[in-house]
Amino acid sequence: MTNFISWNDFINFSGSYHEKLHLLKSSQLVLTNPSSFRQIVWVGLIDPTFASLVLNEYKIFKSRQDLQIPEKTLEQIHLSCVGSFGSLKDKTLGKRVEKILFYFLLKRKDIPFTSGMQYIAGFLLGVFCNEADAFVMFCHFIENIYPSNFWIQAESKLGFRIELQIFAMSVERFCPKIAKALTAVFKPRDKNERQFDYAPFEIVMMKIAEKWYLKCFTQSFAPNVVMRMWDIILIYGFECFPKIALLILSEYESEFIHAIKLETRKVSKEISVDSLIISGIRSIKKLFELSKYPKIENLLSKVLKKPIFTQFKREDYFSDSERVQKKNSYRLIRLRQTRNILQSLGFTGEIIKKIYTDLDSQGLDFVNLSNFSSTCLRCTNWNQNTILNVFNSIDENRNESIQINFLGLSLSLLLHTDIEQRLSIYVDLFPPQELTKIEFLSIISRIEEFLDPYSETFSKDLENSLNDTWIEFSNPVLTISIPQLLTTIPIFRPLIEYLKTIDTNNETIPELRIADIGLNGSYSNIHSPLYQGSEKSEINDEDMDDLEKKLNEICRSEDGEVVEKEFVMNKVVSKSEGSSMNENEISTKFANMIQGNRENKFSVDLSYMDKVLKDRNCGRLCTNNACKLF
């Protein structure tokens, strides 16, 4: 057989898994959307040996009562699921997602929970009726689709950051207008030649990729769009991620650039690298709103057939992406620059207390740029560009929302005093009644996040060390002793030495890099007049809760419902028909063969999917009632 003519050929193929996948790639079959057979096809896209092993592990996990996982991780998973699914009508979804994540972390102890995993698991529970099916597919996604080091936290999540950098470099090549729009052009005071700062472009592109990659596109697009994306991702692998992302970005290029223009004008009167970072991050929201319902079939056709994308290979960017390893030095340089700027303005602990008191009087737990800006204008002599610089240096995760405790710690660590005095000011602002080991570790974690948002090395190492050392400390630890503990106890020395790297004897005050609008560079293009009709019309926003809309569209009701012309059921009439079993039972599409004994019913080998249909009347999978599996 040279290729598959229909999905029946794929499902009934008796050759090896790899041969089957190779034939499918050359056939370029397309699943209808919606399709009642997507579950069966997706099952067939998993190596049966892998599926069988995962299912056996699932059975073991489900049968045991003595399973343990760190309390901190359990709390992190629970809070993520509550925040992601707590407002949905289906109140059980969050619990089911927690169970899948719990089992996976038991299976792969080398992969930590990462925010975003809950959306992948939640989406799969909407596609598959059975928890076991969803678990096997989730393991396949995380372990086989994503690069092997994508979720590993070693070297400050280097594998993950390399993929983000690859996307940024590919955008620079395929969407040069966006790269130009987010590149700062400026002229230093003592030099004649122009210089370029690509930090805004790289930061914004990596943030877009982070939002899409970590959640496998689930939160940014309509459910049927996501399912079509996953159709080809399951066939072609992670290579499709940057291709899909590039096509989406190129499709809405002019609207995205237009949003950057508008936001840049709102952020600051003077144009700086920092204002461009803020405007780019804010424009991402508009990009996601516009691209929620793309012409997905046209887009996927380009991914699979257009030469510029069929020839695209991530490997071509690997050698250049190694510069990611230098990113943390960029972070430290930025912190040094901000610290020197603040020193030149007479920054003291009293100013931090004024800022905190003002924010606290507003009852704020999280501080956005507007809150921070108005408070700093009241309490300091900083101008708007300095405020943007400080906010950007602290908000390294680019959420434009900083937890007030973390803000207080970050400002304290930017002081020009010794480490113990900086920590003392922070403790004065946030004095705990008594200090448990967990609370102490949270301080360590915040310090590490300040230095490197991608790193958890010190936190995890110290957590293990404190298991033996904590009993030696006075209990409860007096708050006044926290700075002394951190600066004198040997186990904390590596973190303190790392913290000292932001200190520098260079007294030169760095420029804030205010752009010269008169230069014939990207800024003059960004801020050129907007002529009526020169940009594409914008799509009207729909007032809806994105997550609830997506998941409610694909989650089953008790008796089944029509979802965008696709009938889905949660419970089946007869197990002998080859349907999914009750969610409390373990064997489903990955289990042993279930024989049908009625006329014109189906015989399904649920382990290997060699035979899906029996006595079929049509030659292709379709949505006729006579052909439905579910």
Q: Is the Cα torsion angle 93, 99, 103, 108 positive or negative in sign?
A: positive
* pLDDT, mean of residues 379-401: 90
Distance (Å, rounded) from C-alpha 173 to C-alpha 371?
37
Region 548-570 average pLDDT: 37
CA distance 43 to 558: 24
Is 540 buried (19+), middle (13-18) or exposed (0-12) by CB count in 10 A?
A: exposed
What is the band of 328 on the pLDDT scale with cuts at 50, 70, 90?
low
Rounded mean pLDDT of 2-19? 88
pTM for the whole structure:
0.78
The pLDDT of residue 291: 95
pLDDT in tens, 455-470: 777 777 777 776 666 6
Torsion of CA 356, 358, 364, 365, to 10 degrees: 0
Rounded mean pLDDT of 442-464? 81
The amino acid at 486: L
Task: Say if CB 482 and CB 435 are below 8 A apart.
Answer: yes
Using the predicted structure, report yes or no on whether residue 394 has a pLDDT greater than 80.
yes
CB 611 within 8 A of CB 603: yes
Quickly state the pLDDT bin for 337 (edges 50, 70, 90): confident
The pLDDT of residue 569? 31
Please say if the pLDDT value at position 551 is more than 50: no
Q: Is 604 exposed, middle or buried (0-12, 13-18, 19+ CB in 10 A)?
A: buried
Q: Mean pLDDT throughout 461-480?
A: 60
pLDDT of residue 503: 84
pLDDT tens figures, 511-545: 554 444 333 333 333 332 222 332 332 333 343 34
484 vs 189, higher pLDDT: 484
Identify the CA nearest to 186 among candidates 585, 513, 616, 586: 513
**Which domains, ranges and CATH numbers included, belong to the chain?**
154-312 (1.10.472), 341-502 (no CATH)
Q: Is the pLDDT of residue 55 over 50?
A: yes
Q: What is the mean pLDDT of residues 433-440?
A: 70
Q: What percent of the chain has pLDDT over 90?
A: 43
Residue 583 has pLDDT above 60, yes or no: no
What pLDDT score was predicted for residue 326?
A: 56
Confidence of residue 433 (pLDDT cuts 50, 70, 90): low
Q: Where does the pLDDT of residue 498 fall: very low under 50, low under 70, confident under 90, or very high at 90 and above?
A: confident
* Per-residue pLDDT, 457: 75
Residue 546, pLDDT score: 47
Nearest-10 Cα torsion for 237, 242, 243, 248: 130
User: How confident is residue 70, by pLDDT bands cut at 50, 70 and 90?
Assistant: confident
Position 141 scores a pLDDT of: 97
Looking from the CA of 176 toward its CB, the CA atoms found within 13 Å total 1
Contact predicate 629/40, CB 8 Å: yes
Confidence of residue 435 (pLDDT cuts 50, 70, 90): low
pLDDT at 622 over 70: no
pLDDT tens-digit profile of 586-607? Answer: 444 554 322 333 332 222 233 2
The stretch 438-442 carries a mean pLDDT of 78
Mean pLDDT (the chain) is 77
Q: What is the reported pLDDT for 296?
A: 92
In the structure, what pLDDT confidence band is assigned to residue 90 with cuts at 50, 70 and 90? confident
Please give the angle made by the CA atoms of 471, 452 and 341, to the nearest 5 degrees: 115
Q: What's the confidence (pLDDT) of residue 253?
A: 95
